[in-house]
Structure 1
Amino acid sequence: MKNKHENPDHHGVGHLARPDRPTAYSLSERFERLPFTGYQRWLAVILATCFAADAVDLVMLSYLLSAITLDLGLTVQQAGIAGGSVFAGVGVGATAAGYLSDRFGRRKILIHSMLIWGTASLLTAFSWDIWSFSFFRFVTGLGLGAELPAVFALVAEIMPANRRASISGWMHVASQSSVVLFTLASFGVISLIGTSLGWRAMFVVMFVVALAALYIRRNLPESPRWYEASGRHDEAEHAMRRFEAAVADAYGKPLPSPKSDGKVASAITGHGGFRTLFAPGYAQRTLFAWSLWFLFLLAYYGISVWVGKFLVDRGMSITASIGTGVLITMAGIPAGWITGQAMERFGRKIVIIIALLCVAVAAFLYGQASTYVLVVAAGAAMHFFLVSVATAIYAYTPELFPTRARSTGLGTASTVGRIAAVSGPLLISALILKWDYTGAFIACALCFSAAALLVWWFGPETQDRSIEDISS
């Protein structure tokens, strides 16, 4: 007996799915008429695990950096190198895997990337000096960077237009919740087994997470839109039929019929790659996305890597700084959901601009904070709006590019951002030595403000538009 997900006539989808009767409707029209069911929610959960692993690894380092610095005997400058090395790997991995994802498919990249960062995380646990640690973290970054372009390309391509931002929001809720849990785990492990073994144990845990992710992702589908954009129309039709059947099965009744409004065309086929990013109509969007990511991540990681160290330098113990970090990080849990809902209701641009301006103010106040209450309050506000901006640009950026170059566009933007992320911790360390934390956080606030102006002047609005419509 065949699985009903493989039966094109199951639950009334056969009129669109029979291989001897090609549909007159575009993939966009077929996707947009689908009800949002438990099947899409489960896919969102799978994609959220990809993003959560990335967020946990990068944020966890912020609160382990003081322990690593003590155990390996690092100077301030070496701590900056240790903190920035993973971002160098993420940058290289994002661009390379972005191109490969557009060429060979989203699913293949997601399945294999975890093997890279999982193995490298295990090796990181056995680091013996600054250079071994930085090398293993660089390789970890290659794997982590490979995931994000494929993850958010899939969100843009298989989720309905009126759900893309809210799903991105829920993914950030999952990532922030995971960050809190892993930060608490870091706190408990370091308290129980000490500084040296504690931070090493957490990287072993990340290896175990990679193994779990491999199991979870085994049933992830390939994007029908990617098949179509690659000129593989038979495979696109087959993948679309399977997707419709899975949705129909979860829906429990016949699917609504597609409706053509005459405005949406099928995706342009052919390999995209880097050349497409500077084709007529896309060059300005590419430069806009790159600039936005550079400004935001320069300040984001300049702040994030040094948050735990900032608390220790203000007189807290390492364990107390991790506990305070948990309080601050918890503020980011609702930020993703609130931002996703706001983007669906009010649009992408206005939400991104407001969040950037708010995080600029919060960063300034955090740099001035001198009491425990002010540190937690300003830090929580800052983290809330950092997550808000991150939620917004991860939903927004894939919408700016056509399917044939979507992962490449997001990957290169991420790489430009990771160049800033490598520079950020090093720049902050230099500013701290010259102007203390106050001057460093003022510089970050200026970066956020400049990014807000950039979105205001150059950002297109993408709310409630199909990705084909945006690309046209």
Structure 2
Amino acid sequence: MTSPEIDTNSSRLVGSPTARLDRLPTTATHIFWILILGMGYLIETFDNTVFSYLAPSIRSEWNLSIESVGLVSSAVFVGMMIGAIGGGRLSDRVGRKPVLIWGSIFYSATSLMSALAPNFEILLLSRILTGIGVQAATGVIMVYVSEMFPRLSRGRFFAVMTSFGFIASPIASFTALAIAPTGVGAWRWVFALGTVGVFIAVAVAVGLPETVRWLVLKGREAQAAAVVERLEAKALRRGELAPIQPESPVVKQGSFRELFKPQYLQRVTVLGLTFAGLIFCLYGFVSWMPTVLVGRGMTKAEALSMASIITLGSITAGPIIFLVADRIERKTALLVEGLIGGAALVTFGFATDNSVMLIAGFVAQFALSANSTTFYTYIPEVFPTEVRGVGAGTVNGFARIAGIASGILVAAMYAHMGATLLYLILGIGLVLVGLGAFRFGPRTTRRSLETISPE
């Protein structure tokens, strides 16, 4: 097959939309898109994590047990499991853009429901519903970046996008620190901040096109070509484009059953188990940190202050991942991050000095954030376009079961074993996550999505 050619006189570019998309350099349009997606991810992560920083205040005001706090922590993961699988399948059917718009509107409404909750039961229900909207939107964001951004810098764009999410935890913790102690019910105002997701829905509706790969999958070649042509026009202002690689075979609409084919079943299993392990460790650490610190003798204000400083570790992960994301293999990064994070979690558990706890917690937060970034880059890459939404959604949904278990089991482990053994188990678990991904995961870094999928 001969390579498509460029007619430099008319600037008309010949070739499949996906092949033309893959060879493009970064343009200002890509930067604009990642800002919208990043802000969406920031708000979704804020909604997802804010309860952990409000838990001490709500527990005190409503006289809740540790087990009740664990139920609320698990509730959001019940919703996230539904949102991951349902949102992924829906995005394969109706498109990435509609699911992102309506998911953002939905979680904004349920955040307001959390803010107005009159009792524990309504708060529990609102967190389940928030989880559905948050994960439906987040899952589509990951797929969108995977499908629409340049092949050679895809990992860096994921690092930029998830850096917005890393900022969310410090924002949630410092906001809770500033507002929650000001009076009875003040925590409600923090939940209400999640309603700004409606502005993301508007930005997506106005500023983002449907993904080229989804349009091609649905046979809407003209629309896909129009999106690519706009990107090419901007890229050509900076010079000649790279040659188009040999075109990939035309994809067809897939189904959930496709995931049980041998070439995909191993990927679903490996990524489902390892990502589930990360989610268990991540939320076992982040969601319970303020409560554990109070249990170690700190006041609520002291615990929130230390937790807020520790969350800054997530911000440092973004720039570092940006520098190395497309230089080292994804599964190698998962191994290194797992080893560093595991050691930090164990140290945090055994520490008796506040300074050691602070440093170990900071490093653990950094490693866990880096690990989640790598996973979010990695997961959509290993599935073909026709099942990318449902494949990534299934892996995410499977992992959310670990989130549900984390809220319940970590509460029981903490109540019966104490913090030291709890963090020892979490640390060992994170090391096993890295080892599993490194041993059994496929290579994806700097490769076209179409060349990864058939392997």
TM-score where L is the length of structure 2: 0.94
Q: Distance in 1 between matches of 2:412 and 2:278?
A: 19
SS at match of 2:102: helix
**Aligned-pair CA distance for 1:445:** 1.5
Indicate yes or no: 2:51 matched with 1:61. Answer: yes
- 2:273 maps to 1:287: no
1:91 aligns with 2:81: yes
Structure 1 residue 459 corresponds to structure 2 residue 405: no
Q: Does 1:414 align with 2:396?
A: yes
* Alpha carbons of structure 1 residues 106 and 41: separation in structure 2 relative to 1, 3 Å: same
For the 8 Å contact 1:87–1:138, the answer to whether it is kept is yes
CA offset digits 1:255-288 (Å, max 9, x no partner): 63452443x514412x223122122421111111
Q: 1:15 aligns with which of 12, 15, 20?
A: 12
Of 204, 228, 233 in structure 1, the residue corresponding to residue 216 of structure 2 is: 228
Match of 1:204 in 2: 192
> Which residue in 1 is equivalent to 2:227?
239
Partner residue of 1:20? none
More deviation, 52-61/427-436: 52-61
Matched, 1:256 2:240: yes
Q: Deviation of residue 181 (structure 1)?
A: 2.5
Structure 1 consecutive aligned stretches of length 4 or more whose deviation exceeds 6 Å: none
For these two proteins, the number of residue pairs brought into alignment is: 447
Give 1:471's aligned residue. Answer: 453
Name the residue aligned to 2:101.
111
SS in structure 2 at match of 1:231: coil
| Matched residue SS, 1:163 | helix
User: Which piece of structure 1 moves more, 167-176 or 360-369?
Assistant: 167-176
Q: 2:248 aligns with which of 253, 265, 275?
A: 265
Does 2:332 align with 1:350? Answer: yes
Q: 1:341 to 1:275 in 2, by over 3 A?
A: farther
How far off is 1:120 after superposition? 0.6
- Equivalent residues of 1:228, 1:236 under 8 A apart: yes
Residue type of the alignment partner of 1:139? L
Q: CA deviation at 1:182?
A: 3.2
Say which is worse superposed, 461-470 or 216-225, in terms of deviation. Answer: 216-225
Q: In 2, distance between residues paired with 1:52 and 1:287?
A: 29
Paired position in structure 1 for 2:200: 213
Conserved 8 A contact 2:40-2:197: no
Distance 2:269 2:123 in 1: 34
What SS class does the counterpart of residue 445 from structure 2 fall into? coil
On the 8 A contact 2:77/2:403 being kept in 1, the answer is yes
- Specify whether residues 12 and 70 from structure 1 end up closer, same or farther in structure 2 by C-alpha distance, changes over 3 A only: farther
Given the alignment of the two structures, is residue 171 of structure 1 paired with residue 161 of structure 2, yes or no? yes
Report if aligned partners of 1:402, 1:468 keep a CA contact under 8 Å in 2. yes
Q: What residue identity is the alignment partner of 2:12?
A: H
CA distance, structure 2, for counterparts of residue 222 and residue 332 of structure 1: 30
What is the Cα deviation at residue 41 of structure 1?
Answer: 0.8
**2:417 alignment partner AA:** W
Partner of 1:344, secondary structure, is coil
User: Residues 142 and 12 of structure 1: is their aligned pair in 2 closer, same or farther, counting only changes over 3 Å?
Assistant: farther
Q: Is the alpha carbon distance of 1:359 and 1:122 closer, same or farther for their aligned partners in structure 2, counting shifts above 3 Å?
A: same
Query: Structure 1 length as normaliser, TM-score?
Result: 0.91
The offset of 1:76, in angstroms, is 1.0
**Gaps in structure 1 of 5+ consecutive residues:** 1-10, 17-22
- Structure 1 counterpart of 2:186, one-letter code: G
Determine if the alignment matches structure 1 residue 71 to structure 2 residue 61: yes
Provide structure 2 residue ranges, at least 5 long, that are not aligned to the other structure.
1-7
- What SS does the corresponding residue of 2:287 show, helix, strand or coil? helix
Deviations 1:116-172 (A, max 9, x none): 111111011122222111101100111001012211111111111121111111122
Letter in 1 for 2:52: S
- Could you say what the CA RMSD is over the residues aligned between the two structures, in angstroms? 1.9
Distance in structure 1 (CA, Å) of the matches to 2:419 and 2:267? 35
CA distance in 2, matches of 1:167, 1:383: 21
Structure 2 distance, partners of 1:358, 1:309, is: 24
CA contact (8 A) 1:12 1:254 kept: no
Asked if 1:321 is matched to 2:303, the reply is yes
1:162 and 2:152 are equivalent in the alignment: yes
Aligned residues of 1:367 and 1:440 also touching (Cα < 8 A): yes
Distance in 2 (alpha carbons) for counterparts of 1:114 and 1:32: 28
CA distance in structure 2 between the partners assigned to 1:468 and 1:167 by the alignment: 19
Q: Which residue of 1 aligns with 2:5?
A: none
Compare 324-333 and 135-144 and name the one that shifted more: 324-333
Query: What is aligned with 1:7?
Result: none
After superposition, the C-alpha distances for 1:432-451 in whole angstroms (9 at most, x for unaligned) are: 12210111111111221221
Amino acid at match of 1:197: G
More deviation, 235-244/434-443: 235-244
Which amino acid in structure 2 is aligned with residue 390 of structure 1? Answer: S
Letter of the structure 2 residue corresponding to residue 15 of structure 1: R
Q: Note if 1:363 corresponds to 2:354.
A: no
Relative distance call for 1:377 and 1:187 in structure 2 (3 A) is same
Counterpart check, 1:41 vs 2:28: no
Tell me the distance in 2 between the aligned counterparts of 1:260 and 1:40. 19
Choose 424-433 or 52-61, whichever is displaced more: 52-61
Query: In structure 2, how many angstroms separate the alpha carbons of the residues matched to 1:243 and 1:101?
Result: 23
